Structure 1
Amino acid sequence: MKPIHRNRRLGIIGIGAVLLAGAAWLVFAALERNISYFYTPSEAEIAAIPPDTRIRLGGLVETGSVSHGEGLEIAFTVTDGTATKSVIYSGILPDLFREGQGVIAQGRFNAEGVFVAETILAKHDENYIPKELEGISHEADTGV
């Protein structure tokens, strides 16, 4: 027969493990609701992202695609050189936002497949370009 203190120790360890697993599950469940994955337009096409799933869409603002709507509404196209996605945003754009520049839009695709952005982040440094877009930035700037 095992001593009583040994059984008690195993019970405490078991309860601690269950509590730790429960806490880890709560943390991951909370993080999952706030995660937004980054996609280029090509990756977004392949992934077939369901409407109302929060993501980040990144690429270059296609030259000639920016159009202003009523009030602060703006529509433009994001490209990665292979695919393009239409984006609609209502709000004040960053100062560095312009055609041919890198942009990351955070938001959701609507039922029509148009990306409705909640936040727009513009590229802030001429030296940085994501790996996926390295060959495109020069073409977009020169029009080649």
Structure 2
Amino acid sequence: MAGMKGLKKRRRIQIIIVAFVALAGATALVGYAMRDGINFFRSPSQVAEAPPPPTEVFRIGGLVEEGSLVRGQGETVTFRVTDGGASIPVSFTGVLPDLFGEGQGMVGTGRYVNGVFEASEILAKHDENYMPKEVVDALKEQGVYVEPDTEPNG
């Protein structure tokens, strides 16, 4: 009978070890899968102060600087994004959102390479009163945020 108790105890310890290894493996796989899915937000001032490495994908947001929008050959567009404290050049190849324009809020995802933010995705505000929270916070920090007029015209 004593041999049977020892066998059950050993089996229970083996099951616990296998479960722990499986859990650790699953956690590692989830972390590996998410490594490119987590993008940190930076304001233009933060990028100017401490430029991230060219391999890091992050989001940048602010206002499209007036007079900086240049449509190049094909679908390539360049412009500058600002938060009032710093201005970062942006290059994007693709179709821009309909509401994208100078003086408008935007958020871009991409990499900062050789002093230019190379965007892979550009998002624009979706109506006249909306701006992403990160962009509003960055603009408020620089003291250039103006509350939108939410009163109906009439």
Shorter-normalised TM range:
0.7 to 0.9
String of CA shifts for 1:111-135, please: whole Å, max 9, x gaps.
Answer: x210111111001133333222244
String of CA shifts for 1:74-132, please: whole Å, max 9, x gaps.
Answer: 1110011111110011222111001111101111122x210111111001133333222
| Correspondences of 1:18-37 after superposition (within 5 Å) | 18-37=21-40
Greater C-alpha Rg = 2
Name the counterpart of 2:130. Answer: 128
String of CA shifts for 1:34-53, please: whole Å, max 9, x gaps.
Answer: 32222111222334211132
2 CA distance for matches of 1:43 and 1:29?
27
Gaps of at least 5 residues in structure 2 are 148-154
Letter in 2 for 1:136: V
SS of the equivalent of 2:121 reads: strand
| Higher mean displacement: 37-46 or 18-27 | 37-46
1 CA distance for matches of 2:41 and 2:69?
22
CA contact (8 A) 1:78 1:87 kept: yes
Letter in 2 for 1:65: S
SS of the equivalent of 1:136 reads: coil
CA contact (8 A) 1:51 1:113 kept: no
CA contact (8 A) 2:104 2:124 kept: yes
The percentage of counterpart residues that share the same residue type is 47
Name the counterpart of 2:119. Answer: 117
Aligned Cα RMSD in Å? 2.0
1 CA distance for matches of 2:55 and 2:70?
24
SS of the equivalent of 1:3 reads: helix
Name the counterpart of 1:44. Answer: 47
TM-score, normalization by structure 2: 0.80
SS of the equivalent of 1:125 reads: coil
CA contact (8 A) 2:78 2:92 kept: yes
Gaps of at least 5 residues in structure 1 are 140-144
